[in-house]
Amino acid sequence: MIRGGKGILFVVSAPSGAGKTTLLRRVVSRLPGVSLSISCTTRAPRPGEQEGVDYFFISRAEFIDMMREDRFIEWAQVHGDLYGTPRSNLERLQQGEDLILEIDTQGARKIREELKDGVLIFILPPSLEVLEERLRSRGGDSEEAIQARLQNAQKELDQMTWYDYIVVNREIEEATKELASIIIAERCRTARVLKA
Ligand code: 5GP
């Protein structure tokens, strides 16, 4: 009768620099019962990033081995590096915990089309100017990488139409509340509460 069993799978995408990571950390620290999926990547860590907290930083060879062994639920190449969600991360859903995948629009599409699951949320920066400012202030990326990320941002923005929700990250506290509200509302859906 009451919501039990499976947790809810949330998929959150945003152009790099939209403030998605900060926002998600705030939501997860405030809301019990939801956690972030940690992806594997072949990209080098940025200053301050930690192994097993931000990503599992692995070599291309290790990534390809995992792909061959079918250990990713989805993977994609973004800005020349490989990123993937380990299949084992989804086990938390079986334990009734909600899970957030912080992945790009290619990965989101795979989850929607292949798993036929997921509540899809797009985080929008207030403007492309703010996005550029945030990308530059983050440090650790070359000018070439920043330009590639800005170009990719435009392509990512074209994809937001098929997401279920859009949160504009104008002000962090307001955006945190909006994102938390979406998670709470999804937990209250009749079909989820009244599970046969
Ligand atoms: P960044 O290098 O800035 O951390 O991430 C670059 C992009 O890769 C972001 O759009 C991020 O959401 C995406 N990304 C991170 N992990 C994954 C993943 O496991 N799968 C996919 N498809 N995209 C990911």
For residue 157, tell me if it sits in a domain: yes
Structural domain for 183, as ranges: 9-38+93-193
In a domain, 162, yes or no: yes
Distance 193 CA to ligand 1 centre (A): 32
pLDDT digits (tens, 9 = 90+) for 37-88: 999 999 999 999 999 999 999 999 999 999 999 999 999 999 899 999 999 9
* CA 41 to ligand 1: nearest atom: 16
Number of domains in the chain: 1
Is 51 contained in some domain? no
**Region class of 4: left (phi > 0), else alpha (psi between -120 and 50), else beta:** beta
Is residue 29, in this structure, part of any structural domain at all?
yes
In a domain, 3, yes or no: no
In angstroms, what is the C-alpha Rg of the chain?
17
Distances from the Cα of 55 to the Cα of 14, 36, 44, 75, angstroms: 17, 11, 10, 14
Mutation pick for ligand 1 pocket among 21, 100, 103 (CB with most ligand atoms within 8 Å): 103
CATH code (residue 125): 3.40.50.300
CA of 77 to the centre of ligand 1 (A): 9
| 115 inside domain | yes
On whether residue 18 sits in a domain, the answer given is yes
**Tens digit of pLDDT at every position of the chain (196 positions):** 444 569 999 999 998 778 888 999 999 999 999 999 999 999 999 999 999 999 999 999 999 999 999 999 999 999 899 999 999 999 999 999 999 999 999 999 999 998 888 999 999 998 888 888 888 887 778 898 888 888 888 888 999 999 999 999 999 999 999 999 999 999 999 988 887 4
Query: pTM above the 0.85 mark?
Result: yes
Distance 30 CA to ligand 1 centre (A): 23
| Sequence-ordered alpha helix ranges (H) in 69-127 | 91-94, 105-110
Average pLDDT, the chain: 92
Q: State the closest ligand 1 atom to the C-alpha of 14, by its place in the atom list counted from 1.
A: 10
Whether 45 is in a domain gets the answer no
